Amino acid sequence: MDIKTIGVLGAGVMGNGIAQVASMAGYNVILRDIEDRFVEGGIKNIDKFLAKTVEKGKMSADDKNAIMGRIKGTTDMGAMKDADFIVEVVVEVMNIKKQVFKELDEITKPDVILSSNTSSMSLTEMATATKKPDKVVGMHFFNPVPLMRLVEVIRAVQTSDATVATTIALTEKFGKVPVEVKVDIPGFLVNRLMVPHFIEAIKLYEQGIASKEDIDKAAKLGLNYPMGPFELMDLTGLDINLHVQQYFYDNLPKELKWDPPLALKNLVKSGNLGRKSGKGWYDFSK
């Protein structure tokens, strides 16, 4: 699929970051939001980020101007008719996302790919709002987008292999590292790993077992994390964290599954204990 123009719906922190990396990769970008002030704020943030990059000597002023010149801001949803690939970055409310996908389905090219930057919500449900559900896929970036390398590419039940392949290739052209999430589950990969870690940290604090500072210190120095759980929750936003946790509660089995998994039990029974035995989940004997 020949992609020349990327549409980004939402000019907030994530949206303008995605627009920036798309333009830096050489694509024309249509950055759309519902009000001029949001669009202008997003473009201003991109300009500010690139200006600092120029100041540090990591980019020329001409390159900065070229990147900015490829980004066109608008409040007109109809402008998305010219996009070859679209990333939706609107509020994490399913009804709003489905309405957006329905509108896009009516005005875009037949072969356009419609992706969502959702961090946890069902792509399968979003795809039902379109007449081309095989063209719907998850493309979950991480904050701050220009600096974070990972992108989760998530399959809806309806997503075609061609759509996934195109999205993975585009991710790589953005200079990012894709991981494919083969099943549309709440939270995908990163949040499914991270949210239980957040919840447990909060419980330890609530029960008076340790201070927030010492829990953060333990995660950083004992697990080699760059940030502790409370620091990271503050960075990503407590409202977003609460929303994701509530979504998990509403959509995943209610019981706490702390029982060691069978696969782990069987590895230990077989004597495969990790590096110290030469083999565990991975083979260290080679």
The set of catalytic residues is: 119, 140, 152, 191
Cα–Cα distance measured from residue 7 to residue 265, given in angstroms and rounded to the nearest whole number: 48
Tokens of 278: 């030469």
Polymer length in residues for the chain: 286
Round to whole Å and give the CA distance between 179 and 144.
18
- Beta carbons within 8 Å of 197's beta carbon, 6+ residues apart: 229
Q: Give CA–CA dist 19/4, Å, rounded.
A: 13
**Residue keyed to tokens 């719906």:** 9
Provide the angle, in degrees to the nearest 10, between the axes of the packed helices 61-69 and 13-24. Answer: 110
What the block records as the tokens of 242 is 């609460």
To which residue do tokens 């604090």 refer? 205
Hey, what are 10's tokens?
A: 């939402």
